Amino acid sequence: MLKKLSGLLAGAALLLSSGTIADVRAESTWSAIKPAIFQERVIHQSTGIIKLDAPYRTIDDRTIPITVDALVPDGRTIRSITLLADDNPMPVIAVLRLANAETRFKLGLNIRLDGTSPIRAVVETSDGALYMTEKLVKTSGQGACASPPVTDLDKVSDTIGQMAFSDVDVDAATSGQTLINRRGRLKITHPNLTGLQMNQITMQHIPARYVDTLTVWNGEQQLFTIESGITLSENPEIEFDYRLNGSANLTVVATDTEGTKFKSVLPVGPSS
C-alpha cells in the first residue's frame, strides 16, 4: 500500500515537473537552430512591437491558427516577419517580406505541429534590427507532420492551386462601411505534403510537395512575398492586411516545390 502510494506521488511529481523539462529542451533547440537561421545577429526580446497569438493547447495539431501583429511606432517600418516552430523538423514556418513601408502588419496562418513546441515571431525593422517574441504551444499528440493527408491524392490535380479570397472583418462588411484598411483571408487548395506522411498501402513515404513561394499584388501594387515550408497546413490559409487602392482585384501567384505555378485573380471590395 505504502509502495503504491509513494509510486503515485512520484508519478504526480513527474507530471508536475514535465512542463519544466519541456521548456529546458525547447531552449536548447532554439540555441541550436538560431545560428542556422539568423547567424550571429542580435535578436532583441520584443516587449511592445510584436503580439503573437496562438492557442495554449491545440484542438487539432494539423491546423492550428496563429497570428502575429507587428507594430513599429517609432518611425521605422517593418521589413520582414519570420515565423518559427522550434521543434518541427523544418523550423521555419514562413518568412514574409513586405513590399511597402508599413508600420503595422498583421499576418495569420494555419500551421501544423509535430509536437509541443515554442512558436516564435521575429520582426526585422527597416534599420535591420531584429525583435522576437515566443509562445509555447502544447499539442494533443497526433504527430501532425506524419498524419495522413485529408486530400484524395489520386484527385489532387482536379483542385490543386485553386484559391479563394474574402474579407475577414465581417462587422465592417455587414455594417456597409467603406473601410480603406482591410483584412482578407486567402485560402489555397494544396495538399502541402510534408514528405513525412506514409502511404498506408505501399508503406513508403509520400514525396514532399508544398507551397514554397507566394506573392500577392493589389492591382499593380505588390503587397508582399511569403516563403513557406511544410509547417503550413494542408490547404493553407493566410490572413493579411491590405488597403483599398482602387483596384478591383488581388493577384496571387504561388509556386510549389514541384515547380508548378498557380495564379489567381481575386475580386476585392465589400461584395467579396
DSSP code string of 121-140: EEEEETTS-EEEEEEEEB--
118 within 8 A of 136, measured Cβ to Cβ: yes
The neighbouring-strand residues paired with 216 are: 224, 252
| List 22, 205, 215, 272, residue binding another protein (CB under 8 A) | 205
Instruction: Determine contact, residues 70/52, Cβ cutoff 8 Å.
Output: no
- For another protein, which is the closer residue by CB, 147 or 235? 147
Q: Does 229 bind another protein (CB under 8 A)?
A: yes
β-bridge mates for residue 95, sequence order: 82, 227
Rounded to whole angstroms, how far apart are CA atoms 155 and 236? Answer: 18
How far is the C-alpha of 164 from the C-alpha of 246, rounded, in Å? 20
The residue among 38 and 249 lying less far from another protein, judged by its C-beta, is 38
CA–CA separation, 120 and 85 (whole Å): 6
Q: Which stretch binds another protein (CB under 8 A): 25-33, 43-51, 149-157, 182-190?
A: 25-33
C-alpha 99/C-alpha 105 separation (Å) is: 12
Nearest distance from C-beta of residue 205 to another protein, angstroms: 6
**195 is a contact residue toward another protein (CB under 8 A):** yes
How many residues in total does the chain contain? Answer: 272
> Please, which residue, 4 or 155, has the CB nearer to another protein?
4
Rule CB under 8 A: choose which of 92, 98, 113, 214 binds another protein: 92
Nearest distance from C-beta of residue 227 to another protein, angstroms: 8
Residue 24 contacts another protein per CB under 8 A: no
Looking at beta carbons only, is 91 or 184 nearer to another protein? Answer: 91
**Which residue in the set 19, 207, 267, 269 belongs to the binding site for another protein (CB under 8 A)?**
207
> All 3 cell numbers of residue 223?
503587397
Helical H segments across the chain, by residue range: 2-38, 156-159, 170-174
Q: Which of 43, 173, 196, 266 binds another protein (CB under 8 A)?
A: 196
Binding stretches for another protein (CB under 8 A) = 1-2, 4-5, 7-8, 10-11, 14, 29, 32-33, 36-37, 87, 89-92, 141, 145-146, 194-198, 202-205, 207-210, 212, 227, 229-230, 257-258
